[in-house]
Each structure stands twice: as structure tokens, then as C-alpha cells.
Amino acid sequence: MLRAGPTYGDGMRRTIVSGIAAAVLSIALAGCASAGSAPDAPASPSASDSPTAPAAPVSTGADAQARLAGLPTPSATEPVLAVGTVLEQDGIAGLCVGFVAESAPPQCAGMELIDWDWAAFEHQELGGVRWTQGVAIEGTYDAAAQTFTPTGEPMSAAAIQLPAVETPQGDLDEATIAAVQQDLSTIQDDSSRQDPNLLGSWGERGTVVLNVTYDDGSVQAALDDIYGEGVVFVVPALR
């Protein structure tokens, strides 16, 4: 599912697509690229500190969707690590940490990347669009402005390894997982309620996994309040 935000490339339709960030999160912290040194990776969610499985039926539908419209969209005022694609069109550089269409040039929706210097990283250019993929950058994230401001030097994502994210075992059946995902997709499909923080969702191990741009814990807490603990497991792209 594509998150709401500026679309970089040739303007593709925004839809929620699952699984991309899960692939990004599996890269390994092996050292430093020549462009800079790898930052210490923050702690990641794990099964041991995740919510327990739900004990009561999960309530979905109109009421849950109305509450989802009020999900928090936290900012990262302290440096976090982003791994994604940098793409510039019409003079605006964007950082995409979610779905990227593998076209030529690529297309994606992301946050504006402040003070990006193309001379600092190898890149490609086609049809007035410049891009580079597999970039790791430390910086701060302003959710309201949808901007990312680097605080360190960019490096190749191949030079780092983020801790693996282990999805906790849940007890949701396929129908409940589908209903919760439908709630989440409804927010994205309604332009008046689109949440720029949501990147995509999928079902895994009896749990709904929700990929978001960033979470300081408030998104997980809000979803636990809406659905009950153990229903939705939040995985942030910025860590």
C-alpha cells in the first residue's frame, strides 16, 4: 500500500503494497561504506516485547475505521536510520522507504529529502529524473511537514545490517486478518482520511503486520486500544 505523500517519478496510482519494507529490514550491518560510517542500529521490535495474543473477538468495521482515522503520526526529533530510494523530479529530492515501482525511471511516494547532495552518492538519470537506490541515511523526520533532514553522511545499504524483526505468534484466523487489513486500506482509499505514516500491511503468523514510516510507541499503543493487544504488530521503516 503506498503511503500518502508526494509521488516521485511519472505519477503512479497510490495503493497499499505489502512486503517491501519487510525486504528492506533484512539487510545486514557489516561495516561502513566509503561514503561514511554506519550508525548504531536502534533496537527493533521483537516477539519477546510484543503484545500477547487477543483473548476476545476482534471488532472491525465502521467503528474501528473511525478510530483509525485518529492514529498518531509521530515525528523523530532524534536521529533515526532510513534505508530506501532517493529520487529527484522537478528539482525536489524525495526519500522513499516504502514501495518503489521498478520502472525506468523508478516511481515512488515519499517524504521530501532536505539538503540532499547528489555529488555525495552515485546515481542514475533519465528523462529529467535522478535516482539512487539502496541508500542508508541517518536523520530526523518531521511527520507534519513530511520531510527528512540528514544528520550524517549517506552510505550504501549493503554495508549495514538492521536487526531482524520477528513477528510474534498470534491466533487470528484468516477472516479476521482480512477484516483488519480492510479497515487499514479503507483509511488509505479515502482521500479525506489518508494517513501518510501507513506504508502497508500483511498477515503473518496469525497476526496483522503493519509497516509504518515511524513509530515512537504511540501508534502501537493506539492500535492495541482499537483492536486489543496481539492483533496488529507495528514495524517502523525508520529505526
Q: Which of 95-99, 125-129, 189-193 has the lowest mean pLDDT?
A: 189-193
Instruction: Give the residues across from 139 on adjacent strands.
Output: 80, 150
User: Which pLDDT belongs to residue 7?
Assistant: 57
pLDDT digits (tens, 9 = 90+) for 141-157: 999 999 999 999 999 99
The pTM for the full model equals: 0.75
User: Which pLDDT belongs to residue 103?
Assistant: 86
User: Which pLDDT belongs to residue 194?
Assistant: 66
User: Which pLDDT belongs to residue 127?
Assistant: 87
Q: Which of 12-26, 117-131, 201-215 has the lowest mean pLDDT?
A: 12-26
Question: Which cell numbers hold the place of 126?
Answer: 533519465
Of 169, 167, 166, 139, which Cα lies nearest the Cα of 155? 139
d(CA 64, CA 61): 6
Strand order in the sheet with 107-109: 7-8, 107-109, 100-101
pLDDT digits (tens, 9 = 90+) for 34-62: 344 444 444 455 544 555 555 578 999 99
pLDDT digits (tens, 9 = 90+) for 194-204: 677 899 999 99
SS3 per-residue string spanning the chain:
CCCCCCEECCCCCCCCCCCHHHHHCCCECCCCCCCCCCCCCCCCCCHHHCCCCCCCCCCCCHHHHHHHCCCCCCCEEEEEEEEEEEEEECCEEEEECCCEECCCCCEEECEEECCCCHHHCCCEEECCEEEEEEEEEEEEEECCCCEEEECCCCEEHHHCECCCCCCCCCCCCHHHHHHHHHHHHHHHHCCCCCCCCEEEEEEECCEEEEEECCCCCHHHHHHHHHHCCCCEEEEECCC
pLDDT digits (tens, 9 = 90+) for 66-115: 999 999 999 999 999 999 999 998 889 999 998 888 888 888 888 999 99
Which of residues 140 and 188 earns the better pLDDT score? 140
Q: Strands 207-212, 107-109: parallel, antiparallel or unpaired by DSSP?
A: unpaired
Instruction: Give the residues across from 96 on adjacent strands.
Output: 85
User: Which pLDDT belongs to residue 137?
Assistant: 94
Q: Which of 58-67, 118-127, 210-219, 224-233 has the lowest mean pLDDT?
A: 118-127
pLDDT range class, residue 227, cuts 50, 70, 90: very high
